[in-house]
Amino acid sequence: MKADDSTHQSLVEKVRRFVEQKIIPVASRLEHKDEYPEEIVEGFKQLGLFGANVSPEYGGLGLDYMTFATIIEELARGWMSVVGPIGTHSVACDVIGRFGTEAQKQEFLPGLAAGERRGGLALTEADAGTDVQRLQTTATRRGDGYLINGSKMWITNGRRGNTFVLAAKTEAQADPPYRGISAFIIEKGGAGFDVVREIDTLGYRGVENCELAFKDFYVPAQNLVGGREGEGFKQIMTGLESERINVAARGVGVARAAFEAAIQYAQKRQTFGKPICEHQAIQFKLADMATRIEASRLLVYSAATKKDRGERCDLETSMAKLFATETAQAVSLDSLRIHGGVGYSTDLPIERFYRDAPLLLIGGGTNELQRLIIAARLVEKYNVRETDPP
């Protein structure tokens, strides 16, 4: 085992203990009250999780994707919402770390790694989600900077975050449109940046998903990611690859929590003179749940390993995201069914797993989009040329 492996393993163990001691006992209470998990987030800061994917050169932990995915699974097993504050924060870190200029890395990464700056990704708009190229927010050159105008929807960390990677059009008529999209590092504080509202949600409660509005909001030119216009689409899409590993790992975590509750309950609950785990209908459910979870985890590991090796992994990240999140949805419903009536009550966390899981089908790119990516990559991989024999 390399030194890195044992350090990373001990961090995973610390996170596991933190989840058992500090997250699971309070999760349902905070979630039902829709209360922000301040103490938990403070604990993340102590554990260094805000710097998970920031290089040690800039004060981060520089974790490999495999370790990071394992940590995300553990956290989501405790409460999916708590991944929110570090999820898109880590995408912002990824984009800045990978594509930022040296000056941008030095200015932003140490604060982000320490959790003093809280990051987020401001991409989606009311009329541009899956079809990102439709985005309408503009960045217009003014003197030594840009003026941002437009609005963004669903921005996780919108209220408490202060440093976002924002996508805006620097060339409205670009053809194809993605060539006109640029990414900026924006900071709260100046005039013209408003948090319009927090959007109420079915699950994933306790953390904030906001609508943001920009009116002549000034961003210095040195905050254009990488110093080049028209690169934003590519930069953010690359960042979303790591987000997909993260969302897939959340799926494994939620599914595992739902499964663990189900297999314990099935051994205690008796009907017709025996524990329900001895009824074949329940046994089949448990077997399918566990098999799907194991397959999901292996897909996450496969995607993370490829990403760690620096190989192309859009196919693997989309497969992991698709399968693991559909698994979370299916397993949380099966867990609820195995629990019978009590699964539908708020006495147990099962209903929370069932309300949290659907976000995973949407966030990080919907599963319909993942299927489109997978199919396109497969056709590319198994390409048949006209000259090929029939």
| Catalytic entry in 243, 316, 326, 351 | 243
Q: Least separation, in Å, of the C-beta of 179 and ligand FAD?
A: 20
Min dist CB 322 to ligand FAD, Å, is 11
Task: Report the nearest approach of ligand FAD to the CB of residue 382 (Å).
Answer: 21
Shortest Å, Cβ 130 to ligand FAD: 3
What stretches of the chain show up as alpha helix (H) in DSSP? 3-18, 24-33, 38-47, 65-78, 84-99, 102-114, 232-268, 280-308, 314-339, 350-362, 367-381
Q: Which is nearer to ligand FAD, 201 or 318 (CB)?
A: 201
219: β partners: 146
Q: Which is nearer to ligand FAD, 147 or 322 (CB)?
A: 322
Cβ partners under 8 Å of residue 72, min gap 6: 83, 87, 246, 249, 250, 253
Strand partners, 147: 140, 218
Residues 6+ apart with CB under 8 A from 21: none
What is the crossing angle of helices 350-362 and 314-339, to 10°? 160
Find the helix or strand (DSSP H, E) in which 204 lies.
none
User: CB of 125: closest distance to ligand FAD in angstroms?
Assistant: 8
Burial of 170 (0-12, 13-18, 19+ CB in 10 A): buried
Facing residues of 389 across strands?
none
For 205, phi then psi, to 5°, come to: -90, 165
Q: Which helix (H) or strand (E) holds 271?
A: strand 270-271
Minimum separation from the CB atom of position 381 to ligand FAD (A) = 21
The token pair that represents 169 in the structure block: 């059009």
Let me know if 359 is exposed, middle or buried by CB neighbors in 10 A (0-12, 13-18, 19+).
buried
Residue 152 or 285: which CB sits closer to ligand FAD?
152
Query: Is 243 known to be catalytic?
Result: yes
Q: Mapping DSSP to helix (H, G, I), strand (E, B) and coil, where does residue 157 land?
A: coil
Structure-block tokens of residue 44? 């993340």
Cβ nearer to ligand FAD, comparing 205 with 306 = 205
Closest contact distance (angstroms) between CB of 136 and ligand FAD is 13
- Closer to ligand FAD by CB, 156 or 325: give it: 156
Determine the residue with CB nearest ligand FAD: 129
* Residue 4: CA count within 13 A, CB half-sphere: 7
* CB closer to ligand FAD, 68 vs 154: 154
Verify cis geometry, omega within 30 degrees of 0, for the bond prior to 176. Answer: yes
Q: Which residue has the tokens 């990677």?
A: 165
The answer to whether 224 and 298 have CB atoms below 8 angstroms apart is: no
CB of 338 to ligand FAD, least distance (A): 27
Rounded Cα distance between 71 and 47, Å, is 11
290 versus 315: smaller Cβ distance to ligand FAD = 315
Which residues of this protein are in contact with ligand FAD, per CB under 6 A?
A: 88, 120-124, 129-131, 154-156, 201, 204, 209, 359, 362-363, 365-366, 368-369, 372
**Listed residue (40, 97, 109) closest to 74, CA to CA:** 40
Nearer CB in complex with ligand FAD: 282/320: 320
Residues designated catalytic: 243
